[in-house]
Amino acid sequence: MKILIFLAFCVHLSAADTHSYQYFETGVTSGINFPQFTLVGLLDGVEFEYYDSNIRKYIPKTEWIEKNEEPGYWSRGTQLYQGTEEIYKVNMATAMQRFNHTTGVHTWQVMYGCERDDDGTTRGYSQFGYDGEDFVGLDLKTKTWIAPTPQALITKNKWEKTGAEANYWKGYLEKECINWLNRHLSYGRETLERKDPPTASVFQKHSSPEVVCHATGFFPKTVMITWQKDGEDVHEGVELRETLPNQDGSFQKRSVLTVSAEDLQKHNYTCVIQHSSLEKEIVLREEDIRILNPGGGSGGAPIGIIVGVVAALVALAGVVGFLIWKKKRSGETSTGKFSENRFRDMDFRPNTNLILSCKV
């Protein structure tokens, strides 16, 4: 089974002072020790709302939203997502039928959200996926659906007959989503706008060609790690890993450089970490570099690498998921109704006119 269940951060470069509001919804076939339906809400990459089909409750994940939202918010959300569980089962069955899958573990995901720059610029996306691959995704500018497979083309053709689905998502992403972002940002501003500097280190296993530059303990998640060779940027042989959460709410990230021992001796390699919390450059010199022994110990042998930590010029925005999604921009929904009260009404007021039918 190729499915990995973990908190994955999908990041992209964006202008500084960008705020994001995003949701991941994941459905999984029965038979594994994981909820059949899970929802995670993130504000600026921080998980603040959660629901799954095991606990069957919509719950706060941060103190600031628990303190500011009234109890009815959570009870109405619980009722909504209990209904959404059934929708996901129908969607999963339709997708499996489309791909001729009768058994095995399969996933159905919806990923959507919006961003707002401090200059007022906004962006949004709605993407659907099956088994870690793109199904259909919305082109917000043209209000058309991108379908990379014949199975998804069926959905694309149906949804574009009336345009109702695209019109709905455009309205939500450009208006309601931004309203939710602003509302919840006002609740958590003190927490979300704090600045915690990273702790940086560079290490290499004995006789390994991989040199690791690691930053941890920073907040916000905005960070950039780059390598330089004799002052020039290096892209070949560099693997930038995901930004991952620490238990204390901070983040960690690493970049791995693959380089021969000979090249390492001939040239000066530098790892540069950029983060908005830093006012001046921090340098880790050769005597600070760790060489990890095969048994896991470390020594102080220098490897000729200097790590510079400088003030950040770039920000990263991220979204969390529970299963690897190999591509970004995907989507589908299957026979049944996709309940959208959660997005259309900020107080979860019941309104049957706000339930969008997304039959594939």
pLDDT digits 0-9 by tens, 208-259: 899 999 999 998 888 889 898 888 898 999 999 998 888 888 899 999 999 9
Greater confidence, 315 or 129?
Answer: 129
| pLDDT at residue 119, as a whole number | 86
Domain ranges for the chain, please list them.
Answer: 5-192+318-357, 199-275+278-311
Q: And the tokens for 104?
A: 């095995």
Predicted confidence (pLDDT) at residue 39 exceeds the cutoff of 60? yes
Q: And the tokens for 10?
A: 């999908």
| pLDDT at residue 278, as a whole number | 87
CB 317 within 8 A of CB 11: yes
Going by pLDDT thresholds of 50, 70 and 90, the confidence category of residue 10 is very low
Going by pLDDT thresholds of 50, 70 and 90, the confidence category of residue 360 is low
| pLDDT at residue 300, as a whole number | 39
Predicted confidence (pLDDT) at residue 138 exceeds the cutoff of 80? yes
Helices (H) then strands (E): counts for the chain: 7, 24
SS3 295: coil
pLDDT digits (tens, 9 = 90+) for 91-112: 899 999 999 999 999 999 999 9
Mean pLDDT value across the chain: 78
* Residues 6+ away with beta carbon under 8 Å from 63: none
Predicted confidence (pLDDT) at residue 145 exceeds the cutoff of 60? yes
| pLDDT at residue 206, as a whole number | 78
Arithmetic mean of pLDDT, 11-28: 73
* % of the chain exceeding 70 in pLDDT: 74
**Residue type for position 51:** Y
Q: CA 9 → CA 25, 133, 159, 187, 275, distances in Å?
A: 14, 16, 30, 23, 17
- The one-character DSSP state at 352 is G
Residue 11 and residue 47: Cα distance in Å, rounded?
Answer: 15
CB 45 within 8 A of CB 20: yes
Task: Report the CATH number of the 5-192+318-357 domain.
Answer: 3.30.500.10
Q: Between 3.40.50.300, 2.40.170.20, 3.20.20.70, 2.60.40.10, what CATH number should domain 199-275+278-311 receive? A: 2.60.40.10
Predicted confidence (pLDDT) at residue 174 exceeds the cutoff of 80? yes
**Residue type for position 195:** K
* Residues 6+ away with beta carbon under 8 Å from 266: none
pLDDT digits (tens, 9 = 90+) for 263-299: 888 888 888 888 989 887 666 555 566 776 655 444 4
pLDDT digits (tens, 9 = 90+) for 304-323: 333 333 322 222 222 333 33
| pLDDT at residue 313, as a whole number | 25
Predicted confidence (pLDDT) at residue 153 exceeds the cutoff of 90? yes
The answer to which of 79-83, 125-129, 176-180, 220-224 has the lowest mean pLDDT is 220-224
pLDDT digits (tens, 9 = 90+) for 178-191: 999 999 999 998 88
Predicted confidence (pLDDT) at residue 59 exceeds the cutoff of 80? yes
CB 256 within 8 A of CB 210: yes
